[in-house]
Structure 1
Amino acid sequence: MGALNQHIIIERPIETVFAWTTDMERAPEIMDHVEKTEKITEGPVGKGTQYNEIRNVGNRRVQTTLEVIEYIPNTSYAVLSDQNGVQISFRYEFTPQGNETHVTFNGDIKTRGLARTLFKGMIVRMIAKEELLHLSNLKKYIEKNTEGK
């Protein structure tokens, strides 16, 4: 288990939740700090797919490349970000519960260099807060946009 752990129940079938969660180009509609996410590799989404993401962090635009490192339809999805001495892996697990889906989020943070290592606790807290809000926003977004479908 990683440094960040959250879970939520989304009141939609697993196929819907997985499809909407793994559509990274929707991130600006779901996450407050994401301005743009663009797929930069060809072909269908799967292990090795890469995205260019731009976030507004503390009034600074930060660009990073995200890489899908695990993609098992309707089961799990993981993405890796490695930037400026901070490597973050985000992993989502999907479990059906009738017509609902239990989503578990695990994030792991690794740091390189003295400065990043000294501030690792602060980085973990900042990302944990954002990801908790992300899961809540994801739930609202999916349930609103798939109502009656």
Structure 2
Amino acid sequence: MADFRSSVIIHKPISEVFHYMASMENVPELMPNVVKMEKLTEGPIGKGTRFKESRSVRGNTVNADIEMIQYIQDQAFTTRSNSNGLITEYAYAFHEIEEGTQVEMDAFVKTSGLRMKLTKRLIVKMIKREDGFQLEYLKEMLEGKKEDS
């Protein structure tokens, strides 16, 4: 069972939505704490593609290795990040619907070590606060809507 999940409908074609997300170069626009995403492997993006993520956490830069562990063009992809024993997997599913594209995300957080296992609930809460709104940001970016506050 996912530690948290999200879903959104975007009024754009599935191929456009999938490409925007799967390219990974747009991650800093969708996850504000991510300051840089660098592709480490050659060739087109697919299963096995690796990235280096740099993220700002409480004023410090934390790096994580990201790997595309599943990739089905215009349907689904899953990324796995590993940062000092904290493994986070984001599984994205894309569905063509009458209004455009429905995107669903399931997030899985795996901890290792006694200290992390004991604080997993707090870790999940922190990750959800940092990354939980990425689909809403995706919708804003692709539909050109910015909240007027």
Instruction: Sort the TM-score into its range (normalised by shorter chain).
Output: over 0.9
The answer for the alignment partner of 1:21 in structure 2 is: 21
AA aligned opposite 1:16: E
Greater displacement, 65-74 / 133-142: 133-142
Q: Distance in 2 between matches of 1:35 and 1:83?
A: 15
Runs ≥4 in structure 1, deviation > 6 angstroms?
A: none
- Alignment correspondent of 2:32: 32
Alignment partner, residue 58 of structure 1 = 58
SS in 2 for 1:25: coil
Task: Report what 1:125 is aligned to.
Answer: 125
Letter in 2 for 1:13: P
Name the SS of the counterpart of 1:135 in structure 2. Answer: helix
Q: Give the structure-2-normalised TM-score.
A: 0.92
Q: What's the CA shift for 1:124?
A: 0.8
- SS of the counterpart of 1:123? helix
TM-score by length of 1: 0.92
Identity across matched positions, percent: 37
Partner of 2:35: helix, strand, or coil? Answer: strand
Amino acid at match of 2:73: P
Cα drift, residue 99 of structure 1? 4.3
Return the alpha-carbon distance in structure 2 between the equivalents of residues 131 and 7 of structure 1.
Answer: 13
Give distance in 2, aligned partners of 1:135 and 1:47. 22
Match of 1:104 in 2: 104
8 Å Cα contact 2:64/2:83 also seen in 1: yes
1:85 aligns with 2:104: no
The Cα shift of 1:131 comes to 2.8
CA distance in 1, matches of 2:11, 2:67: 28
Structure 2 counterpart of 1:25, which letter?
Answer: E
CA contact (8 A) 1:13 1:98 kept: no
RMSD: 1.3
Q: CA deviation at 1:30?
A: 2.6
- State the partner residue of 2:42: 42
Q: How many Å apart are 1:46 and its aligned residue?
A: 0.2
Q: Once the 2 structures are TM-superposed, how far is the Cα of residue 86 of structure 1 from its aligned partner? A: 1.0
Corresponding letter in the other structure for 1:88:
T
Higher helix share: 1
Q: Which amino acid aligns with 2:133?
A: L
